[in-house]
Amino acid sequence: MRALDTDILILGSGGAGLFAALHAHAADPSLAITVAVKGLLGKCGCTRMVQGGYNVALAKEDSVERHFMDTIEGGKWLPDQELAWQLVTLAVERVRELENELGCFFDRNADGTIHQKAFAGQTFDRTVHKGDLTGIEIINRLAEQVWARRIGRLEEHRAVELVKTKDGAALAGVLMIDMRAGDYVFVRAKAVLLATGGGPTMYRYHTPSGDKSCDGLAMALRAGLPLRDMEMVQFHPTGLLAGAHTRMTGTVLEEGLRGAGGYLLNGAQERFMPRYDPLAERATRDFVSRAMVTEMRKGKLTPNGGLYIAMGHLGPEKVARDFKGMVERCADCGFDLAGGLVEVVPTAHYMMGGVEFAPDCTTALPALFVAGEDAGGVHGANRLGGNGVANSTVFGAVAGDSMAGWVKREGALREPDRAAIDAAIARCEPRIAAAHGALEPLRERLYDVMWDKVGIIRERAGLEAALAELEEIAGELEACGIADANRAFNLSWHDWLNLRSLTEVSRVIAQAALAREDSRGAHFREDFPQTGALERSAYSSVRAGAGVTMKPVAFTRVRPGESLLSRGAS
Ligand SMILES: Cc1cc2nc3c(=O)[nH]c(=O)nc-3n(C[C@H](O)[C@H](O)[C@H](O)COP(=O)(O)OP(=O)(O)OC[C@H]3O[C@@H](n4cnc5c(N)ncnc54)[C@H](O)[C@@H]3O)c2cc1C
């Protein structure tokens, strides 16, 4: 096993990881910073896939208070208000930094101000964007800046275990697999950032990048950390539905389509959203996704079993101009988005849940920091479109500043618990024996159980059945192993590890969904359809082996029924 030492180890190179690297380096250029990533730096993760854009209160008529209230009300009063406040206030700084220091070009108005477009669920059009493929601009510029600095890179290195000191008092480092060689590497670090980006890829239809398999959340669970809001999985209403034969199925068609006035139609080409909500297609994602499933249950389906989105009434030329990327993506799959109908289905998109953390990105485990989609509490029960990339860049930067300070104050290289490393290696070694292809049926079972029983509409019996089935899948995964003993770039091995992380995290999603006996935001229980009293809002907190605890939300800035806007803010 190779051993490396570094001051700061960052796991993941999305918006959170790269911002953390740049900020830690700016705080102290003498620090040894290493970014370890499962894919290639700048080419993987979901920040690169961001389409619609980035929420930030820039316009004179808008305010951070308004953005905050939208975030709290969108999150159904479950967000941690201090985290949400950090999000909305620091987003302003981050967008300025992206433009003025890092070189991003966002779309502009004729008067030179930044163009901000409409996204669903917001009271102001505040989404900054670069066409409809904003993430490529952000990640390319961030990656260039990281490459230009003395920041170490471990690409195609997969983190597999957070290893503590022998007394368990702090994190000592991270065990990884160098995927190219198949060897283990232990990286000792004074501070570690978990920024592996969550990613609900355990559902039949899902949007996140293929490198994401909830590894970070699974590692945090095994390290004994509490995760919050795990029942809150966001489904994006408009996943492309192009048949089972293509990986394009499930990929997202951006929110701006509904924001701009797109219609959702059932298989009989009838518009249905106005029957479910006065905001119709511009209602929040949770509401639209649920209405879509309800409509699908009525049986008027498209050829592939979903619904349609139609944009043609807005003018095909305008649609082709404003949504070039989306129109091309649909054309690749044989659909005419500008003038015709495109088949869509709700698709698992984002995890509001994640590791419990403080506004300075510290966690319950000294030396471990968390940011981005691995972190829980910013969005509560529902993430507004555009608040995801804001979240990863804002808290990535906070984590970079915070880790640099921590290393200076109390950072030391600590001795890892050698027995824990040995146990983690043993855990990663699959049985070499299985019949070829044994993993695929298990993946299909996982997809089905999560989609059918822990999906958009849930109820007790289904969740209990899901937990039993997930237990079986976990057991069968251990038993099945893989067929090929070659360690270098063994994708079956990594798939096996992916499925184990996904199954571990699926179990806590189902447990938290069972524990929350009301319906709120992304979580809907047919057997408990009402939202509980907002004043007594509680969030779920789950630890491996310790079950779920419901903890009261602290209304530190505003209480249900109040608004920061009515207190005189603009
Ligand atoms: C298609 C799509 C469109 C989106 N559009 C928008 C939008 O318009 N607006 C918005 O606000 N949000 C959007 N989002 C959400 C947004 O992308 C995410 O909220 C955000 O980018 C997450 O950033 P992150 O840094 O936490 O994770 P990511 O950017 O996903 O990065 C995670 C990183 O961790 C690495 N990693 C994973 N596992 C390991 C491991 N075991 N070891 C080492 N590295 C690991 C990955 O390779 C990757 O580099 C979209 C998401 C998708 C999928």
Beta bridge partners of 188: 5, 173
**For residues 106 and 114, is the Cβ–Cβ distance under 8 A?**
yes
Q: What are the pLDDT digits (tens) for 30-77?
A: 999 999 999 999 999 999 999 889 999 999 999 999 999 999 999 999
Distance, CA 111 to ligand 1 centroid (Å)?
A: 33
Per-residue confidence (pLDDT) for residue 247, from 0 to 100:
87
The residue annotated as part of the active site, out of 48, 158, 188, 236, is: 236
In whole angstroms, give the CA distance from residue 390 to residue 47.
Answer: 10
DSSP annotation of 333: T
Residue 7, classed as helix, strand or coil, is: strand
Does the pLDDT at position 569 exceed 50?
no
Residue 349 is among the residues annotated as catalytic for this protein:
no
Does residue 159 have its Cβ closer than 6 Å to ligand 1? yes
The answer to whether the Cα torsion of 168, 398, 554, 506 is positive or negative is negative
Per-residue confidence (pLDDT) for residue 173, from 0 to 100:
98
Per-residue confidence (pLDDT) for residue 436, from 0 to 100:
66
Per-residue confidence (pLDDT) for residue 500, from 0 to 100:
97
Does residue 56 have its Cβ closer than 6 Å to ligand 1? no
CA distances from 16 to 94, 314, 397 (A): 12, 36, 7
Residue 258 is among the residues annotated as catalytic for this protein:
yes
Strand 368-370 and strand 183-194: the pairing is parallel
Per-residue confidence (pLDDT) for residue 331, from 0 to 100:
96
In whole angstroms, give the CA distance from residue 174 to residue 416.
Answer: 9
**For residues 192 and 174, is the Cβ–Cβ distance under 8 A?**
yes
Q: Which atom of ligand 1 is least distant from the CA of 252?
A: 1
In whole angstroms, give the CA distance from residue 350 to residue 188.
Answer: 31
Per-residue confidence (pLDDT) for residue 397, from 0 to 100:
98
- When computed from its CA atoms, the radius of gyration of the chain, rounded to whole angstroms, is 22
How do the residues of the chain divide into helix, strand and coil, expressed in percent and rounded to 5?
A: 40, 20, 40
Q: Position 353: which residue type?
A: G
Distance, CA 567 to ligand 1 centroid (Å)?
A: 36
Q: What is the distance of C-alpha 86 from the center of its chain?
A: 18
pTM of the model: 0.96
Per-residue confidence (pLDDT) for residue 567, from 0 to 100:
59
Does residue 505 have its Cβ closer than 6 Å to ligand 1? no
Residue 223, classed as helix, strand or coil, is: coil
Distance, CA 212 to ligand 1 centroid (Å)?
A: 8
Stretch (H or E) spanning 494: helix 491-515
Q: Nearest C-alpha to atom 3 of ligand 1 is from which residue?
A: 50
Does the pLDDT at position 552 exceed 70?
yes
Per-residue confidence (pLDDT) for residue 570, from 0 to 100:
39
- Three state DSSP letters for 237-279: EEEECCCCCCCCCCCECCCHHHHCCCEEECCCCCECHHHHCCC
Distance, CA 247 to ligand 1 centroid (Å)?
A: 18
Does the pLDDT at position 370 exceed 60?
yes
**For residue 275, what are its two tokens?**
């029957």
Distance, CA 249 to ligand 1 centroid (Å)?
A: 19
Q: How confident is the model at residue 437 (pLDDT cuts 50, 70, 90)?
A: confident
Stretch (H or E) spanning 423: helix 418-428
Does the pLDDT at position 426 exceed 50?
yes
Q: What are the pLDDT digits (tens) for 107-138?
A: 999 999 999 998 877 899 999 999 888 999 99
Does the pLDDT at position 259 exceed 90?
no
In whole angstroms, give the CA distance from residue 400 to residue 25.
Answer: 8
Q: Which atom of ligand 1 is least distant from the CA of 46?
A: 30
Per-residue confidence (pLDDT) for residue 451, from 0 to 100:
95
Question: 23, 119, 196, 495: which to mutate for ligand 1, most atoms within 8 A of CB?
Answer: 196
Does the pLDDT at position 568 exceed 80?
no
Residue 156: count of CB within 10 angstroms of its CB: 19
Does the pLDDT at position 388 exceed 90?
yes
Q: How confident is the model at residue 434 (pLDDT cuts 50, 70, 90)?
A: low
The residue annotated as part of the active site, out of 157, 158, 258, 383, is: 258
Mean pLDDT over all residues of the chain?
95
